[in-house]
Chain A
């Protein structure tokens, strides 16, 4: 990993269209501004990891489990939908 030291208001340029700027520093919190093309998705890392994890789990549903769901009585019976 490339490590660079930056001060408040200083930036890092990545490629020709991504800029990352240190906007504010408050104790151990650092506010970062990011300028990037719209097709570039930007996420907090832990959020993206959580989505990846959930998708992996969701894709793990077995055929059996779903068959039961289909054959079983309507699980939403009696609900007002």
Chain B
């Protein structure tokens, strides 16, 4: 099927790549169908695009690429809801809040997007009591070293 995407224009997506979010996403509870599109050639970025509304799209990354220590403990209710049987079927993404300059961009580690790739089911899981926040600086802070020392 053809999908209108916010960042990539019209893209062709096969039906089996559509991911169903039974309860939508917080603030977008009525959006139940999304597709994940690669963004850029080698960039570590993906787009989580709503099928129903072109303007609803999120930039997502594999959080483990950026936060080595990141851990997600899925609640039993999520495992049941997404019909997760094996760990390797699960993909986890973090949503970015893109800022300018890009160095100020943050990742939402408190609410990862969890996908059971086998069943094409997804959910944004709110991790309570995890210590993670909605805004974690994506770029490691390299102090102001580039401006000093000349």
Contact = CB atoms under 8 A, between A and B. Distances in A.
Interface of A: 38-39, 41, 43-44, 47-48, 50-59, 61, 63, 65-70, 72, 74-76, 79, 81
Given A38-B80, A43-B128, A47-B128, A54 B97 contact: yes
A69 B102 contact: yes
Contacts of A65: 98, 100
Nearest to A52: B27
Given A38-B77, A66-B7, A58 B128 contact: no
Contacts, number: 99
Contact of A55 (B26, B55, B65, B140): B26
A58 B102 contact: no
B57 interface: yes
Interface stretch (B12-20, B39-47, B84-92, B114-122): B39-47
B27 A53 contact: yes
A81 to B, nearest CB: 6
B111 interface: yes
A66 B134 contact: no
A53 B139 CA distance: 22
B95 interface: yes
B126 A54 contact: no
B23 interface: yes
A67 B45 CA distance: 12
B33 interface: no
Contacts of A67: 7
Contact of B59 (A47, A61, A74): A61
A51 to B, nearest CB: 4
Nearest to B123: A41
Contacts of B56: 59
Given A41-B126, A48-B26, A51-B26, A61 B108 contact: no
Nearest to B9: A63
Contacts of B95: 54-55, 58
Given A51-B26, A59-B57, A79 B100 contact: no
Given A51-B134, A55-B25, A61 B77 contact: no
Given A50-B134, A69-B102, A76-B44, A39 B59 contact: no
